Structure formats: C-alpha cells, structure tokens
Amino acid sequence: MRQYISAVVLLTACLIAGCGGNGEAVAKNTLDAMKEMTAALDSGNKDQVIAVAKKLQALMKEGKEMKVSKSENQRVTEKYKPLIMEETKKMTAAMMKAVTSGKLKQEDLKEISAMMKE
C-alpha cells in the first residue's frame, strides 16, 4: 500500500515540479484523476481502481515528455500544490479504508503499484 502511495506522490511531485508541458492542464488533470481514484477506492471496485491508475500512469508519461517555464511552474505549483496534497490525504485515507474494510486486498494495491512503476 505504501508503494502505491509513493508512486502517486512521486507523480504529483513530478507534475507540480514542472515536468508537464501545459502545467495548468496537467496539474488539473492530475487532480481530477486523483479525485477519481479516491472515489474508486471508496467503492472498492478493483477494475475501476486499475482504470484510474492507468490514467495516472498516462499523465506521468505525458509529464515526463514536456517542459514548462520556471514562472509557469511556480504559478501552477502555488495554485495546485495545496489542492493536490489535500486530495493525496483523502486518497490515502480511502486506500486504508478499502483495505481495512476488506473491499480491496493489499495484494491488489501491490499489483496496481507495480503497474504504476512500468
């Protein structure tokens, strides 16, 4: 479970740090995908969690392929970092709740974490 959280936090840091092309769009898409992930984890639907993880993986790839200016990076970071960090907390709580309630297994999250590293 921690590996999955680490992968999402790494993605978030990468996108906020300026790895994305249109920083505003990439940050917004990341935040939206994180909200989708929180909802998927709340539902306990493994297929939905995997689908959103693939979306996050695509955003990570997009972010690695583009660059933004220093000023754009700073502006986007100031705007989105608090929102993304707040959603990270919600997503982490949903993940723990999904495992402790039995909706998802730790093995499921390990599988998803491994997929995110590809």
Handedness of CA 6, 10, 11, 12 (dihedral sign): positive
Which tokens belong to 50?
Answer: 């995997």
Domain boundaries, the chain: 2-117
* Residues 104/41, Cβ–Cβ less than 8 Å: yes
Q: How confident is the prediction along the chain (118 residues), in pLDDT tens digits per residue?
A: 455 555 555 555 555 554 445 777 878 888 899 999 999 999 999 999 999 999 988 887 777 776 777 787 788 888 888 898 899 899 989 989 999 999 999 888 888 877 777 6
Token reading at 33: 């995908």
pLDDT at 15: 54
**pLDDT in the model for residue 18:** 47
Residue 20: per-residue pLDDT: 43
